[in-house]
Chains A and B, each alone.
Chain A
Amino acid sequence: MTGTREVLVLVDHADGSVRRTTGELLTIAARLGEPSAVFLGPGIDAAREQLRAYGAAKVYVCDSADVTDYLVVPQVEVLEHLVQRTSPAAVLLPSNPEGKEIAARLAVRTGSGLITDAVDVRAATDADAAAGPVTTQSVFAGGFSVQARVTSGTPVITVKPNSATPDETAGPGVEEPVQMTVSDGAKAARVTGREARTSSGRPELTEASIVVSGGRGTGGDFGPVEDLADALGAAVGASRAAVDSGWYPHSYQVGQTGKTVSPQLYVACGISGAIQHRAGMQTSKAIVAVNKDAEAPIFELVDFGVVGDLTTVLPQVSEAIKARKG
């Protein structure tokens, strides 16, 4: 058994609005020990109930504004402090750029091994159980599945969205304020501006259970893609070709240099399926494609594909779904 050692989970939030991935991380933490949420920055009042609902046994709170005013390092200092204080079984962070960088500095600072982009984390069951959890990663554009573990220090693991189904068993969520002053050294990279991206009203791309993406084949008109996304309650994504053509913003790019998504359903519209795109979506549970070119490599991946013109096929799908929903 892993016993009752704490597992620290860095809460991903914007002003207390907790993202779904935090629920997934707390659920994974409960497999490995006692889930402790680490809430940094302003907004705990808005977050409290959500963190309990996701099963947090403890909630460490450091509401210093330094955390949001300076990049990454203040959060590293608080986590380093908590690692020393609690000797956790692991530290789990979201696999987004900021989460990975906090993890990176924390790992170096504490002499700990770092595993990024885990799609699963399990308590070890083998003779090496004391050696800590075993992670699963999807590498080389989804071509390989790698199992690994940390062998030095405290396992620091970043976990991708949709790696677990949030368990809604509430925890006590006992709050513990963290009183510490962020060092001057941590205040070197100042955030001088932050513009929240205007919400599209659709689910957030990396968290969505369905993603509908458009590529070169849209010819620049994302209307049919957005209509289908709305019919399905899905997020909209874009291929690099579409983003590079200026048809859709970079923040919606799916692929190696954009977002990695792992939804229940991925619908690729007018996307050929180059390796760079596959790297961002190949772990989707089901894949559907619409493309004019029957030879497009995307069809090698699909569960269901339509060779056809997306400007006629997509509206037909949207209409059929709307008719069914009434």
Chain B
Amino acid sequence: MRIVVCVKLVPDATASRSFEPDHTVDRVSVDGLLSELDEYAVEEALRIRDAASEDGEVVAVTMGPQAAADAVRKSLQMGADSGVHVLDEAIAGSDAPATSLVLAATLRKLGADTGPVDLVVCGMASTDGTMGVVPAMLAERLGLPQLTYANQVTVDDSNGAYRVQVRRDSDLATETVEAAAPVVVSVTDQINEPRYPSFKGIMAAKKKPVQTWSLSDVGVDPAEVGLSAAWTAVVSAEARPPRSAGTVVTDEGDGGTRLAEYLVEKKFV
């Protein structure tokens, strides 16, 4: 089974994240790392590859500035076989539709160059943008079914063709959904426990092939992506004032009573 996992380098969520003057995410002053939610996608891709009856391959794909290659490197250290980095200045500031456009073009090129892709695995969202819409947009652009927000993925290859089934939680129900490959899957943080790269994995990753492609390599017009081509515009981005310090009391036997008094005073009771 040929699997592509889409990965993103994001600013560390535990650091003080901010915006550039043009309202794009500041990706310079905060250290980048592989989006935590993409680790689950890489792990699941590896498990599906290793569980299949035939030899498989996992290709980690990313787009973004030079540093974004770190997201591919981490994926290779975890066990992915090869990587693709779409690197082009014009990509800066791309919104979700443009991101899905570039990823779709990259997947088409991968398919044309080295054979069809059976499965695309994504994290449920990035930890910076948090929209969670790129997997669906990617499926739309590739004309593929989407099996998203999976808590469990099962691949059945018994009849010479891959059928993919997922379990997912909607707000009110638990659903099972299935489709014939190729499909786009997104996975939640409930699906597995991502492995840490081993020393052996880190050494092996150095020898794994990573291709760097430009927008023209994948056949995307630079005018269609980037901040100036975005279909939305930020009017303003303001740091919220920190919440004003409230009252904190130490329980000396009456902490619950005092809390209840607060709730009554504020008319919550």
Contact = CB atoms under 8 A, between A and B. Distances in A.
Interface of A: 14, 71-73, 76, 96-98, 100-101, 103-105, 107-109, 111-117, 134, 138-153, 185, 188-197, 204, 206, 210, 232, 250-251, 256-257, 264-265, 275-276, 279, 286-288, 290, 294, 299-309, 312-317, 319-321, 324-325
A308 B250 contact: yes
Interface string B2-41: 0000000000011001110001000000000000010000
Interface stretch (B49-57, B77-85, B130-138): B130-138
Contacts of B23: 146
Contact of B148 (A97, A142, A232, A304): A97
Interface stretch (B60-68, B204-212, B215-223, B239-247): B239-247
A312 B256 contact: yes
A189 B255 contact: no
13 contacts: A71-B147, A72-B146, A100-B136, A105-B139, A115-B232, A144-B19, A147-B234, A148-B235, A149-B235, A232-B263, A320-B257, A320-B261, A324-B260
Give chain A's interface secondary structure class: mixed
Nearest to B246: A303
Contacts of B135: 101
A72 B134 CA distance: 14
B37 to A, nearest CB: 7
Contacts of A308: 250-251, 255
Interface stretch (B86-94, B111-119, B177-185): B177-185
A199 to B, nearest CB: 9
B259 interface: yes
**7 tightest A-B contacts by CB?**
A316-B256, A308-B251, A113-B231, A320-B260, A188-B145, A104-B133, A152-B231
Given A304-B259, A313-B255, A321-B263, A189 B147 contact: yes
B157 interface: no
Interface centre among A193, A204, A276 (most CB of B within 10 A): A193
B258 A190 contact: no
B258 to A, nearest CB: 7
B248 A307 contact: yes
A316 B261 CA distance: 11
Contacts of A210: 268
A111 B95 CA distance: 13
A307 B41 CA distance: 39
Given A148-B232, A189-B178, A304-B249, 16 more contacts: A14-B172, A14-B173, A72-B136, A97-B168, A101-B133, A101-B136, A188-B183, A189-B179, A191-B177, A250-B169, A275-B13, A288-B259, A303-B246, A304-B247, A307-B249, A308-B255
Most buried by A among B145, B148, B236, B256: B256
Contacts of A144: 18-19, 237-240
A149 B232 contact: yes
Nearest to B14: A275
B262 A304 contact: yes
The contact size tier of chain B is 35 or more
Contacts of A192: 165, 176-178
A204 B255 CA distance: 29
Contact of B175 (A113, A193, A306, A320): A193
Nearest to B237: A146
Nearest to B148: A101
Contacts of B144: 188
B240 A321 contact: no
Contacts of B180: 188
Nearest to B13: A275
B175 A300 contact: no
A14 B25 CA distance: 38
Given A190-B178, A257-B189, A316-B257, A96 B250 contact: no
A305 B268 contact: no
Contacts of A301: 243
Given A185-B143, A189-B146, A320-B256, A206 B171 contact: yes
Contacts of B46: none
B58 interface: no
Contacts of B174: 194-195, 197
B178 to A, nearest CB: 6
A302 B251 contact: no
B175 A194 contact: yes
